[in-house]
Amino acid sequence: MLMTRALRYSGVCCSLDADKYENDPELEKIRRERNYSWMDIITITRDKLPNYEEKIKMFYEEHLHLDDEIRYILDGSGYFDVRDAEDKWIRISMEKGDMITLPAGIYHRFTVDEKNYVKAMRLFVGDPVWTAYNRPADHFEARAQYVKFLAQA
Ligand code: KMT
Ligand code: NI
């Protein structure tokens, strides 16, 4: 896979066994080392997620956050799109067992695929802040920091 800086920093990880998420020393190690103290589980299907249509639409609006967005796919699948240094979309296919860290300040969006089903663990450093800032949101310090990182040779 072509690894742009945006992708590498997004850090799709690793060899986790999603069937063991309730008692997985590897997952615990990641959470401990990266201070992912908070977590919950979201199931995105028409019948399980309240206001499904509205949420799906929100997830697919290009936005950024002021904190890292960390997702661990426990079942199902979907796509995260991230902007590369040339501002082009890169589509990241996410399946069961994949974990992704979207850095604070990166423009991104999410969509389910034709199966319309994903179950994911949402992890957070400290108390979660879900606020999404739709593009344009270039005035934030988190954005400036990320742009600076992208520009590094
Ligand atoms: C988000 O913030 O985009 C979501 O929580 C939905 C994706 S979870 C795989
Ligand atoms: Ni987001």
Domain boundaries, the chain: 2-152
Tell the burial category of 73 from Cβ atoms under 10 Å away from its Cβ (0-12, 13-18, 19+). buried
Helix (H, G, I), strand (E, B) or coil at 24: coil
Sheet strands (E) in 27-151? 38-44, 63-64, 69-83, 89-95, 99-102, 108-112, 118-124, 133-134
pLDDT digits (tens, 9 = 90+) for 89-138: 999 999 999 999 999 999 999 999 999 999 999 999 999 999 999 999 99
What value, to the nearest 5°, has the Cα angle with vertex 147 and ends 141 and 151? 145
- For the entire predicted model, the pTM comes to 0.94
Average pLDDT, rounded, for the chain: 93
Residue 153: is its pLDDT beyond 50?
yes
Domain 2-152 has CATH 2.60.120.10: yes
Would the CB of 63 count as within 6 Å of ligand 1?
no
Whole-angstrom Cα Rg for the chain: 15
In this structure, which residue's CA is closest to atom 7 in ligand 1?
A: 110
Which protein residue's CA is at the shortest distance from atom 8 of ligand 1?
Answer: 120
Distance 153 CA to ligand 1 centre (A): 30
Measured distance CA(32)–CA(39) in Å, rounded: 12
